[in-house]
Structure 1
Amino acid sequence: MKFWNRSFIFLALSLVLVLAGCGTKSNSAGSSASDNTASSTTETSTDDAAQKKLEIKTSFYPMYEFTRHVAGDLANVENLVPAGMEPHDWEPTAQDMAKLTEADVLVYNGAGLESWVGQALDSATGSNLKAIEASQGIDIMEGSEEEGHSHSHGDEAHADDHDHDHGEEAHSEEEHDHEHGEHAHEEHSHDESGHVHNHGGLDPHVWLSPQLAIQEVRNIEKGLSEVAPEYKEQFKANADAYVTELEALDNEFTEGLKDSKRKDFITQHAAFGYLAKQYGLTQVPIAGLSPDQEPSPAQMADIVQFAKENNVKTIFFETLVSSKVADTIAKEIGAKTDVLNPIEGLTEEELAAGNDYVRVMRSNLEALKTALNE
């Protein structure tokens, strides 16, 4: 009897252990399924996050550079103007227009540089495209295509020292509002062909002043925060970090240029008015606002005379257009040439070398320091 009881107890214990083992396996399987579900949920969340990335197009290099710093990894940012191409006369292709129609955001400089923007926004009506004008609220200076005709020794000779209010008064009486969502955009005047014209010769090169570049970055931050308010804090943190870099750059320019022996410099076209004004300098452009404008013989003679009278030893040219005019003047007066980059676009080689806005601006500073202290 005792043997039977012991056998019964043994069998009962064995059954408990078997059942416990099954339970363990069952729990293990359940845990594995739970893990798989969690993994699947994580992957879905990751996919959703990837799908929520903003698709942003930018009009040319500085807008791309500023935007990618603000957007960080929350957006796919693509520049429309190809590397190495001068943006003043660039026009979007049908393929570019298709990209814009599919994009969430277009970031552009404004102030008359991108003559195609008005028509592009009109063509994108009905899409979800939101436009951000980076120069909004900045006092835009007037620039004249005839700036190269005469140069005196004082600031009064240069049109780039006059501010122009970049508001409702900056445009002609024929104005069109482009509304995309809640955003009102730059007003443009159109001819019969639909092309946007820049009345008054506004100088768009605001990004060449680090202080104004900061304002453009903040405008981009504000615009992106309105488009995707759920990312507002991230956009602000990204913008704050980049603004810190730009503030350091501004300090470097202030300190590097304040004790220069001379204050005037000759440059290929009138792109550096904002920079000159910010740091107490005077640009003497060979030509006007358009980089490919050919100076007249009278303009050439005037520049040569100015250079000789003021013992100018450096004539600045830029990378995206021919340097032949600068070379001719330098040869005439026995000066050298050097690059002062308006950063309207970087070449493939410059990008491959790791150049960016801040790095090129520092190169510009060193070039100016050398030329102004010769």
Structure 2
Amino acid sequence: MLIKMFTIKGKKMSIIKKLLLIALSACVLIVATGCGKNDQMAQVEGKINVLTSFYPLYYFAKEIGGDRANVVNLVAAGVEPHEWTPKSRDLDAVSKAQIFLYNGAGLEGWVKGFLNGLGSDSKVLTVEASHGIKLISGNPEKDSEEDSGEDHTADEQHSHSDGDVDPHTWVSPRSAMVMAANIRDAFVKTDPEHKAEYETRYESIKDRLGQLDAKFTVQLSVYKRRDIVVSHQAFGYLCRDYNLNQIAIMGLSPDAEPRAQDLLNIARFVKENDIPYIFFEELVSEQLAQTLAREAKVDTLVLNPLEGLTPEQDKAGENYITLMEKNLQNLQKALQ
């Protein structure tokens, strides 16, 4: 009887032990996951700690900072930066960093309050990367509205305007070179001892952006067609620099809803001008672009505004340069 009771107790002890191990493993996993997030934002001793507000700045900072920098992007892969807002841990991480890079020009609607929350003891250098670029003001009237012959009042035009400035400066390689120079200056100011290294790496990315600029200039200049129809009004700087004209379904913000009349006007413009493709982007819904393409009986293509990478692009090692080259290929296809 004593032996039987011991065996039963032994089994109970064995089950309890297994449950405890499972519970302990779960706790370790939760802690590890939490620590993983914190580790990503953690400062690295001996390096210039840089936080960026979205992907293009992250890419340029990594290229220019090299091994001297620990660069962390606040917005995760696959997240649309227009929709992202910072959390308290982001504020804490930035306050402890040496450099914080943001685009400016109205892209980060949260940035003014964010910077005010850093506190007087924070020594982080905050840099508006778009500084020095001639900004595009307002929402240009769409060609489809001009062709429609409709006389819109000032109030009507204002009602579907998304802002006073187009923030999408980085989408043009020519503007991106200005942004890269601002990032170089931030590294040099923060770490003047290694100025030569930052200058060398900056010259490397400047050369690649310059080659990209030359390709866009030469290869797009040969086409008579200059109109592109896009889902999101994100290509103003690219169009300005390479003499193109964008007709946008949605405004400066990718979640700005178009009016029904705008869609009808664009569909008519596509048909009357034999536009072969309607461009959409990967980080926002392509439903409107596809609906319009079906109505106009044309196909769709990707034109990437490079606001962020998809997880697949991140895993495949895609970057600003490779994605802009794909944009060039698709633009050539659409302009033929």
Q: TM-score of the superposition, structure 2-length normalised?
A: 0.80
* Residues 294-333 of structure 1, C-alpha deviations (whole Å, 9 max, x = no match): 2111111011111111011100000001001100111011
Tell me which of 120, 123, 128 is aligned to 2:123. Answer: 128
Tell me which of 99, 102, 114 is aligned to 1:108. Answer: 102
Letter of the 1:365 counterpart:
L
* Residues 144-195 of structure 1, C-alpha deviations (whole Å, 9 max, x = no match): 2875872449xxxxxxxxxxxxxxxxxxxxxxxxxxxxxxxxxxxxxxxxxx
Q: Which residue of 1 aligns with 2:47?
A: 53
1:349 aligns with 2:319: no
Note the residue ranges of structure 1 that are not aligned, 5 or more in a row.
1-49, 154-197
Tell me which of 305, 321, 325 is aligned to 1:358. Answer: 321
1:367 aligns with 2:330: yes
User: What SS does the corresponding residue of 2:126 show, helix, strand or coil?
Assistant: strand
How far apart, CA to CA, are the structure 1 residues paired with 2:211 and 2:142? 32
Tell me which of 98, 110, 113 is aligned to 1:119. Answer: 113
Q: Which residue of 1 aligns with 2:193?
A: 230
How far apart, CA to CA, are the structure 1 residues paired with 2:143 and 2:285? 17
User: What SS does the corresponding residue of 1:268 show, helix, strand or coil?
Assistant: strand
Closer, same or farther: CA 261–86 of 1 in aligned 2, 3 Å: same
Query: Which range is displaced more, 363-372 or 96-105?
Result: 96-105
Cα RMSD of the aligned pairs, angstroms, is 1.8
Q: Which residue of 1 aligns with 2:239?
A: 276
Q: How does 1:261-340 map to 2 (within 5 A)?
A: 261-340=224-303
1:66 aligns with 2:29: no
Q: Which residue of 1 aligns with 2:82?
A: 88
Closer, same or farther: CA 249–104 of 1 in aligned 2, 3 Å: same
Report sequence identity in percent: 42
Letter of the 1:328 counterpart:
T
Contact 1:147 1:287 in 2 (8 A): no
Q: How does 1:159-170 map to 2 (within 5 A)?
A: none
* Residues 315-363 of structure 1, C-alpha deviations (whole Å, 9 max, x = no match): 0000001001100111011100010000001111011111100000000
How far apart, CA to CA, are the structure 2 residues paired with 1:319 and 1:361? 14
Q: Which residue of 1 aligns with 2:133?
A: 138
Contact 1:135 1:216 in 2 (8 A): yes
Closer, same or farther: CA 351–199 of 1 in aligned 2, 3 Å: closer
Q: Mark the structure with the bigger radius of gyration.
A: 1
Q: How does 1:25-64 map to 2 (within 5 A)?
A: 51-64=45-58
Letter of the 1:266 counterpart:
V
Contact 1:57 1:106 in 2 (8 A): yes
How far apart, CA to CA, are the structure 2 residues paired with 1:268 and 1:130? 36
Q: CA deviation at 1:52?
A: 2.3
Q: CA deviation at 1:118?
A: 1.3
Contact 2:162 2:253 in 1 (8 A): no
Letter of the 2:320 counterpart:
Y
Contact 1:304 1:329 in 2 (8 A): yes
How far apart, CA to CA, are the structure 2 residues paired with 1:52 and 1:78? 16
Closer, same or farther: CA 281–268 of 1 in aligned 2, 3 Å: same
Q: CA deviation at 1:51?
A: 2.6
Q: CA deviation at 1:143?
A: 3.1
User: What SS does the corresponding residue of 1:78 show, helix, strand or coil?
Assistant: strand
Note the residue ranges of structure 2 that are not aligned, 5 or more in a row.
1-43, 149-160
Closer, same or farther: CA 149–333 of 1 in aligned 2, 3 Å: closer
Closer, same or farther: CA 91–146 of 1 in aligned 2, 3 Å: farther
Q: CA deviation at 1:256?
A: 1.1
Letter of the 1:121 counterpart:
L
How far apart, CA to CA, are the structure 2 residues paired with 1:250 and 1:117? 30
User: What SS does the corresponding residue of 1:150 show, helix, strand or coil?
Assistant: helix
Q: Which residue of 1 aligns with 2:18?
A: none
Q: CA deviation at 1:275?
A: 0.5
* Residues 250-278 of structure 1, C-alpha deviations (whole Å, 9 max, x = no match): 11111210111300000011110111111
Q: CA deviation at 1:89?
A: 2.7
* Residues 198-232 of structure 1, C-alpha deviations (whole Å, 9 max, x = no match): 99521111111111100100011012211111121
Q: How many residues align?
A: 280
1:75 aligns with 2:69: yes
